[in-house]
Amino acid sequence: MSEPISIPAHTLSIVIPMYNEADNVEPMITRVHEGLAGYAHPWELILVDDGSSDATPNELRRVGAKFGPHVRTVELMRNFRQTAAMQAGIDAARGSVIVTLDGDLQNDPADIPRMVGRLLNEDLDMVAGWRKNRKDGLFLRKIPSRIANRLIARITGVTLNDYGCSLKAFRAEVLKHVRLYGEMHRFIPAWLATVTTPRRIAEEVVNHHARIHGESKYGISRTFRVILDLISVYFFMRFRARPGHFFGGAGLILGGIGSLILAYMAFLKFVGHENIGTRPLLMVGFFSIIMAVQFILSGILGETLARIYFESGAGKLYQVRNPDNLTADEAWHKG
């Protein structure tokens, strides 16, 4: 399709993680090429196989060779899950604009030019897709998603209607300041708000299709992991530069409780002349103090070192099987 509006010069990388999607590989690649037919700027397609156990890797190589060197594949050694697969694709991307989407044919690649146009013409750092007319089950997908979107927006302060939509367009220079792990791919808008202003994050209504082949690989079971990651997002958004305020607050509460208990025990001992050696409350007071100290010291040390580790780039959450084929400078599709 032709571009609906004029788009400033750029290079585009499209990142699609896939896991056991053998039947969707060729239709997905074909649909991307149809959606970008007539696209006037260089683009590449990066397909990440997330350790699939079916014929997905073979299909990626076969279909990629048919379309040309601008279709690049990244094969992970095992299933590292969706967030790590997406991070692997982002690391391999060379474009000044990066677009991510799912490999299940539910996102529509025809929306990409419109989203990129808005990103660049309105000087934004991210345009998130909004599946306003979502083609998923009501109780297992839609209702939990709506609840999650409101909870995430309330906690992070970044208001979007659809955090779970993988179809997003980013400025690469901003996105590559963010490292993803856990189930963090759904929190990318919140993470971006730590390196840019939320005013440069926008939302665009996109098409959404019912799944035709296969089944969802990342189901409702991830809810508990998402909740834990949401707590981590809240911590780093609020206390990234001052972790002692977060852990110190909790430690002070425990320490305060322990101190009050021990003060009460001391009063009973020295004023009331009572025997307190066998009272369980005495142990509660001592352990509260110990937990307060451990909470402050271990918490600050562990959380801060974990963040430094991931942001330094020293540790990656995935291992690539074929890194040598990701450096071909000529591998761009040019309109």
Tell me: the pLDDT tens digits for 191-205? 888 888 888 999 999
| CA gap 26, 37 in Å, rounded | 16
Under DSSP, is residue 227 helix (H, G, I), strand (E, B) or coil? helix
Contact criterion met (CB below 8 Å) for 202 and 170: no
pTM to 2 decimal places: 0.77
Contact criterion met (CB below 8 Å) for 174 and 195: yes
φ, ψ for residue 108, nearest 5 deg = -110, 110
CB contact set of 44 (below 8 Å; sequence gap of 6+) = 11, 12, 13, 14, 70, 71, 72, 93, 94, 95, 331, 332, 333
Mean pLDDT of 328-333: 71
**pLDDT-derived band of residue 1, with 50, 70 and 90 as boundaries?**
very low
Q: Identify the helix (H) or strand (E) that includes residue 193.
A: none
pLDDT single digits (tens) 132-151 = 887 655 555 566 667 777 77
Q: Identify the helix (H) or strand (E) that includes residue 255.
A: helix 243-270
Contact criterion met (CB below 8 Å) for 100 and 168: yes
pLDDT of res. 2 = 45
pLDDT single digits (tens) 209-251 = 877 765 655 555 556 667 777 787 777 777 766 777 777 788 8
* Crossing angle of the two packed helices 223-239 and 243-270, in degrees rounded to 10: 90
